[in-house]
Amino acid sequence: MIFDKKVNSAFHESTGLDLYLRSRNIKKVIAVGLQTDYCMDATVKSGFER
């Protein structure tokens, strides 16, 4: 599955990632990326909140 994003966090509602994970009862995610100080930081923090 590919989730296209135009915001800093992959968990932003516009990506559909959160809905996808919840609909499949997925509880754990491995996050990898290139810009740790920007998108990765925002995505990991958002994922932790959820």
Residue of 37 and 12 predicted with greater confidence: 12
Rounded to whole angstroms, how far apart are CA atoms 40 and 22? 20
| DSSP code per residue over 1-50 | -----SSS-TTSTTT-HHHHHHHTT--------S-IIIIIHHHHHHHHH-
| pLDDT at residue 49, as a whole number | 92
Q: What is the pTM of this model?
A: 0.80
Q: Is the pLDDT of residue 22 over 90?
A: yes
Q: How high is the mean pLDDT of the chain?
A: 91
- Average pLDDT of the segment spanning 33-39: 82
46: confidence class by pLDDT, cuts 50, 70, 90: very high
Buried b (16+ CB within 10 A) or exposed e, 16-44: ebbeebeeeeeeeeeeeeeeeeebbebbb
